Amino acid sequence: MSTLPAGLDRWLSERRDQVDAALQAWLRRADTPGPLARAMEYSVTAGGKRLRPLLVLAAADAAAESLGAKPEAAMHLAMPAACAVELIHTYSLVHDDLPAMDDDTMRRGRPTAHVVFGEGMAILSGDALLTEAFRLLAREPEAAPGAPPDLAARKLETIRTIAEAAGAAGMVGGQAIDLDAAAPGAPPLDVAGLRQMHARKTGALIAGSAAAGAIMAGAPSAVVEAIGTYGRHLGLAFQIVDDVLDVEGATADLGKTAGKDAAAGKPTYPAFHGVADSKRLARESVDRALASLAGVNIDGQLPAIARWVISRTH
Amino acid sequence: MSTLPAGLDRWLSERRDQVDAALQAWLRRADTPGPLARAMEYSVTAGGKRLRPLLVLAAADAAAESLGAKPEAAMHLAMPAACAVELIHTYSLVHDDLPAMDDDTMRRGRPTAHVVFGEGMAILSGDALLTEAFRLLAREPEAAPGAPPDLAARKLETIRTIAEAAGAAGMVGGQAIDLDAAAPGAPPLDVAGLRQMHARKTGALIAGSAAAGAIMAGAPSAVVEAIGTYGRHLGLAFQIVDDVLDVEGATADLGKTAGKDAAAGKPTYPAFHGVADSKRLARESVDRALASLAGVNIDGQLPAIARWVISRTH
């Protein structure tokens, strides 16, 4: 994180702490049987970049600024969505790591959930994280004096956006394409197929996170759409960088097994384009993300976050 | 089904056809990659009693009648929730049947999803069914001329109710208790623990289904609560009957392996109370369900459905 500008670094780390505190508070408020609660908390508190919730909050902040609204109010409105997308991201990692899927034993530097709690409890903890995300979105923030009159409509639109990003047309659909392509005898993905797979598997929830922040802040639909487009391009850049890191990074830095995709014969951007051209593609994707913001005069921390994504080393 | 009064039989079978048609239409509307779409449709179209969606619709119908509202309008408002609870019930069966959970190879007279599509795709199809349920609840019915002015609030309350019933405090929580009690060396559940486990695992979603129908029809909160209480008692009766059928029924009738719970040493109502007293407990639970409805002057098809639940043979 040393490559970050100091202002962004502080902004991100303050928001990350707020998200972590809100996540823990939410998890503990639910009436959850002990073993399930421990499995859920284990995965949620394993750390991670918190990219998706930070995008929710940064998008809400930037949208509020452009509307002349108070940033604190936008944070309050968007925090449940920030937590929800992290719960969803976490569940997807827990299920993705299962023996029947990627069969990963290490994640974020710790044994994966099924190694610690068993496969059955890992599956259930993922199911519970996903369901609790929607419970949170439906419940919070509660209508209270001073709340926007269209709060219920914003919440419904946020639920719709996040469910679409996470569901059959989005994240889970992308995982299914990935799994199907890895089946014995299946034809390998070509460049277009790889891009399509990643657009769903990673891009959709990143784009949905950015859009959700804008929706909760009350942005008009053109701004929501432009911020969603920013998120889609950012998601592609993020995935390319991830593929490059998988080739270049060391296991200790990543907190997960490096070179695993290549070893498994999975298609990656560097495999198709080489490392140098992959990095160029990531930069171009970030440029497109920034152009989408500029088109509606939105900035805040969003441009800096996009640059952070391609400068990261883990 | 020969024990059903003809009027209820026709009502149930007409509604069941409507739910089946709506479910298929919804699944096909999503932009879902082929293998995932096939796995989702396989499980959703496997049949089943459709108890939960029928409860949603019957509760909406009964609530509308007591409000003097048109039953067709209530059906339209409640149909998305009816489909959503069936999607959630179906996902829970798919995950419950996995080798890491109950390890069942037959369900509703057909091979289970993981036998046909593989474990990974079965896990993903469950994840997608759960997510699509919330997408459906957030989207439909759309606001249109003639829609109730508080439609958004009803939808949010329905999402909250169903997420609570399906999540860590409800269905998934119950499955976690069940799984945990089956672990080697774990103390077996006592009567209270068994009841608690079933109240979450089966009762919560049945109660949530009934409550959701009432909410979508615009029932006042006292009626929603009474219908939810009816659902909780009905859920307990349903589970007791399920346990009795597991002891008494033949595999062909049930479409799943009979005597499996007893063989696995799982606690059941007949194991604690014997078959005759278990049947009496189920009848008493139905009586309490009916009393809850009578307290708010609600009937419609709800009392007959409660009686159907304890008269069923599969």
Q: What digits encode the pLDDT tens for the residues B179-235?
A: 999 888 999 899 999 999 999 999 999 999 999 999 999 999 999 999 999 999 999
B226 backbone dihedrals φ, ψ, rounded to 5°: -65, -40
* B217 secondary structure, DSSP code: T
Q: B135–A180: do the CB atoms touch at under 8 Å?
A: no
Neighbours of A191 (CB within 10 A): 12
Give the pLDDT of residue B314. 63
Does residue B28 have a pLDDT over 70? Answer: yes
d(CA B298, CA B306): 13
Question: Using CA atoms in the order A159, A165, A166, A167, what is the torsion angle rounded to 10 degrees?
Answer: 100
Collapsed DSSP state (helix, strand, coil) of residue B106: strand
Q: Tell whether B264 lies on the interface with A, counting CB pairs under 8 A.
A: no
Domains detected in chain A: 6-311 (1.10.600.10)
| Chain B interface, best mutation among A114, A127, A161, A201, by max B CB count within 10 A | A127
Contact status, residue B199 vs residue B156, Cβ threshold 8 Å: no
Q: A167–B128: do the CB atoms touch at under 8 Å?
A: yes
Q: List, in sequence order, every residue forming a beta bridge with B110; answer none if it has no partner.
A: B107
The pTM of the full predicted model, rounded to 2 decimals, is 0.95
Chain A positions in Cβ-Cβ contact with residue B38 (cut-off 8 Å): none
* B145 secondary structure, DSSP code: T
B150-153 long-range CB contacts below 8 Å, 24 or more apart? B150/B218, B151/B77, B152/A152, B152/A153, B152/A156, B153/A152
Chain A positions in Cβ-Cβ contact with residue B123 (cut-off 8 Å): 95, 98, 100-101, 123
Q: A167–B118: do the CB atoms touch at under 8 Å?
A: no
Q: A176–B36: do the CB atoms touch at under 8 Å?
A: yes
Q: Which amino acid does the sequence have at A59?
A: A
Q: Which residue has the tokens 């043979």?
A: B313
| Chain B interface, best mutation among A172, A175, A180, by max B CB count within 10 A | A172
Give the pLDDT of residue A1. 42
Residue B310 structure tokens: 């304890």
Bond from prior residue into A141 cis (ω within 30 degrees of 0): yes
Proportion of chain B in helix, strand, coil states, percent, rounded to 5? 75, 0, 25
Q: B168–A40: do the CB atoms touch at under 8 Å?
A: yes
Chain B CA closest to residue A141 = B156
Q: A123–B132: do the CB atoms touch at under 8 Å?
A: no
Q: What is the rounded end-to-end Cα distance, in angstroms, of chain B?
A: 9
3-state helix/strand/coil string of A98-109: CCCCCCCCEECC
pLDDT, tens digit only, all 314 positions of chain A:
446 778 888 999 999 999 999 999 999 987 899 999 999 999 999 988 999 999 999 999 999 999 999 999 999 999 999 999 999 999 999 999 999 999 999 998 899 999 999 999 999 999 999 999 999 999 999 988 889 999 999 999 999 999 999 999 999 999 999 999 988 899 989 999 999 999 999 999 999 999 999 999 999 999 999 999 999 999 999 999 999 998 887 554 555 555 666 666 678 999 999 999 999 999 999 999 999 999 999 999 999 999 998 887 66
Q: Compute and round to an integer the Cα radius of gyration of chain A.
A: 19
A57 backbone dihedrals φ, ψ, rounded to 5°: -70, -40
* A143 secondary structure, DSSP code: P
B contact residues 240-259, partner A, Cβ 8 Å cutoff: none
Chain A positions in Cβ-Cβ contact with residue B127 (cut-off 8 Å): 91, 95, 126-127, 130, 172
Proportion of chain A in helix, strand, coil states, percent, rounded to 5? 75, 0, 25
Bond from prior residue into B71 cis (ω within 30 degrees of 0): no
What residues have CB less than 8 Å from A250, skipping those under 6 apart? A258
d(CA B22, CA B18): 6
d(CA A84, CA A235): 18
Q: How confident is the model at residue B7 (pLDDT cuts 50, 70, 90)?
A: confident
Q: A167–B40: do the CB atoms touch at under 8 Å?
A: no
Contact status, residue A234 vs residue A248, Cβ threshold 8 Å: no
d(CA B130, CA B171): 12
Q: A121–B176: do the CB atoms touch at under 8 Å?
A: yes
Interface A-B, measured as beta-carbon pairs within 8 A, has a size of: 162
Q: Tell whether A103 lies on the interface with B, counting CB pairs under 8 A.
A: no
Higher pLDDT, residue B171 or A309? B171
Q: B33–A160: do the CB atoms touch at under 8 Å?
A: no
Q: Tell whether A155 lies on the interface with B, counting CB pairs under 8 A.
A: yes
| Chain A interface, best mutation among B42, B44, B103, B131, by max A CB count within 10 A | B131
d(CA A112, CA B71): 50
Residue A64 structure tokens: 């509020």
Neighbours of B68 (CB within 10 A): 6
Concatenated DSSP letters of B241-280? HHHHHHHH--HHHHTS-TTHHHHTT---HHHHH-HHHHHH
Closest CA of chain B from A158, distance in Å:
9
Give the pLDDT of residue A3. 63
Q: How confident is the model at residue B97 (pLDDT cuts 50, 70, 90)?
A: very high
Q: A250-254, B53-57, B151-155: lowest mean pLDDT where? A: A250-254
Strands (E), B104-209: 106-107, 110-111
d(CA A154, CA A133): 16
Chain B CA closest to residue A29 = B169
Does residue B51 have a pLDDT over 60? Answer: yes
Minimum-distance CB partner of B120 among A101, A118, A127: A101
Closest CA of chain A from B18, distance in Å:
23
A contact residues 3-22, partner B, Cβ 8 Å cutoff: none
Alpha carbon B287 to its chain centroid, in Å, reads 20
A32 backbone dihedrals φ, ψ, rounded to 5°: -110, 130
Q: B176–A126: do the CB atoms touch at under 8 Å?
A: no
Q: Where are the alpha helices (DSSP H) in chain A?
A: 6-29, 34-44, 51-67, 71-96, 113-117, 119-139, 151-166, 171-181, 191-198, 204-216, 221-248, 251-254, 260-263, 269-273, 275-294, 302-311
Contact status, residue A87 vs residue A133, Cβ threshold 8 Å: yes
Chain A CA closest to residue B121 = A176
Contact status, residue A209 vs residue A231, Cβ threshold 8 Å: yes
Closest CA of chain A from B35, distance in Å:
7
Contact status, residue A61 vs residue A300, Cβ threshold 8 Å: yes
- Return the half-sphere exposure (C-beta side, CA atoms, 13 A cut-off) of residue A33: 24
What residues have CB less than 8 Å from B270, skipping those under 6 apart? B243, B244, B247, B278
Q: Which amino acid does the sequence have at B119?
A: E
Give the pLDDT of residue A2. 44
Q: Which amino acid does the sequence have at A227?
A: I
Minimum-distance CB partner of A135 among B30, B100, B164: B164
Residue A158 structure tokens: 């946020």
B101 backbone dihedrals φ, ψ, rounded to 5°: -110, -110
pLDDT-above-90 percentage for chain B: 82
Residue B164 structure tokens: 């609570």
Residue B268 structure tokens: 């059941």
Q: Tell whether A175 lies on the interface with B, counting CB pairs under 8 A.
A: yes
Q: Which residue has the tokens 């879902």?
A: B32
From B135, B121, B119, B125, select the one nearest B83 (Cα to Cα).
B135
Q: List, in sequence order, every residue forming a beta bridge with B106; answer none if it has no partner.
A: B111
Q: B134–A135: do the CB atoms touch at under 8 Å?
A: no
Residues A67, A69, A71, A77, CA torsion sign: negative
What's the Cα-to-Cα distance from A51 to each of A30, A54, A120, A134, rounded to whole Å?
25, 5, 28, 19
Strands (E), chain A: 106-107, 110-111
